Amino acid sequence: MEEIRSVNNSYIKYLKSLKQKKYRKEHKMFLVEGYHLVEEAAKAKVLDAVLVIDKKDQIQGVKNYLINCDIIKDLANTVTPQNIIGVCFIKQKKELTSNKVLVLDEIQDPGNLGTLIRTAIAFGFTDIAVSNNTVDIYNDKVIRGTQGMLFRANFIEVEIKDFLSDLKAKGYKVVTTSLGKDCITPDQLPKLEKSALVLGNEARGLKDEVLELADFKVTIPMADVVESLNVGVAGGIMMYLLSKQK
């Protein structure tokens, strides 16, 4: 078990660079903090190495490094980090694996994205397509928000219009949420064999050019005093409803 004691070690400097999106993308690697996320990464077979303070926390089958508290603090993003850091591979993207797809365009808040990913896995939306102007999936706040569920998703980075057009050609029905007048309520939504739920920016919603591709625009009934729902909440409701269609 290799021991590293300095924050100036070249490997530690490399790992620290992975806190930035451009280096995660370049090296196709990212970091996770804490026992639960490291365990989930190991289950998903994307764990390359672990850095631990106590030898008893080492993990079989991957590289293990013994480090100190200074290094943990240097690599961690949380105020009171747990004593383990995982170094993970970014998984190779696959083609669509199911008949339910979550499509996210310009989601900006890491907490919202983390919630949506976690909820998507809960309701069987394992294929998650994201626009390149959506917050980075491997942002540390996103990762923590997913509670490890990002390891169970198949992420596809897409140009939204082209991707939706391709889905429609494959028989998928595009479903969006909207507050417009030409909307239906959830109970009016027919049974869909293949569905793509599209959610947009927290402040602006979906662009008109995306809404034009929708087969069904759904308004979620709510009290008049509430103007709109958080995208994570609205997305959760819609994914639940679509998952219940048999």
Asked if the structure places residue 95 within a domain, the reply is no
CATH of residue 9's domain is 3.30.1330.30
Please tell me the distance from the alpha carbon of residue 52 to that of residue 103, in angstroms, as a whole number. Answer: 37
Asked if the structure places residue 79 within a domain, the reply is yes
- The pLDDT value recorded for residue 12 is 98
- The pLDDT value recorded for residue 179 is 82
- The pLDDT value recorded for residue 152 is 96
- The pLDDT value recorded for residue 245 is 85
Asked if the structure places residue 94 within a domain, the reply is no
Total number of domains constituting the chain = 2
Enumerate residues 6+ apart whose C-beta is below 8 A from 77: 19, 33, 140, 141
Considering only CA atoms, which of 245, 153, 241 is closest in space to residue 193?
A: 245
- The pLDDT value recorded for residue 246 is 65
DSSP string computed for 101-144: EEEE-S---HHHHHHHHHHHHHTT--EEEEETTSPPTT-HHHHH
pLDDT by 10s per residue, the chain, length 246: 999 999 999 999 999 999 999 999 999 999 999 999 999 999 999 999 999 999 999 999 999 999 999 999 999 999 999 999 999 999 988 889 899 999 999 999 999 999 999 999 999 999 999 999 999 999 999 999 999 999 999 999 999 999 999 999 999 999 999 887 789 999 999 999 999 999 999 989 999 999 999 999 999 999 989 988 999 999 999 999 999 986
Q: Give the DSSP letter of residue 8.
A: T
Q: Give this prediction's pTM.
A: 0.93
At 63, list the tokens: 């590289």
Domain coverage including residue 67: 2-89
Which of residues 54, 89, 124 is at a domain's end?
Answer: 89
Amino acid at 232: G
Please tell me the distance from the alpha carbon of residue 89 to that of residue 53, in angstroms, as a whole number. Answer: 22
**In terms of domains, do 215 and 166 share one?**
yes
The rounded Cα 62 to chain-centroid distance in angstroms is 24
* CA distances from residue 7 to 31, 61, 182, 223 in whole angstroms, order as listed: 16, 25, 58, 54
**In terms of domains, do 128 and 219 share one?**
yes
The per-residue pLDDT for range 160-188, each reduced to its tens digit, is 999 999 999 999 999 999 887 789 999 99
CATH of residue 159's domain is 3.40.1280.10
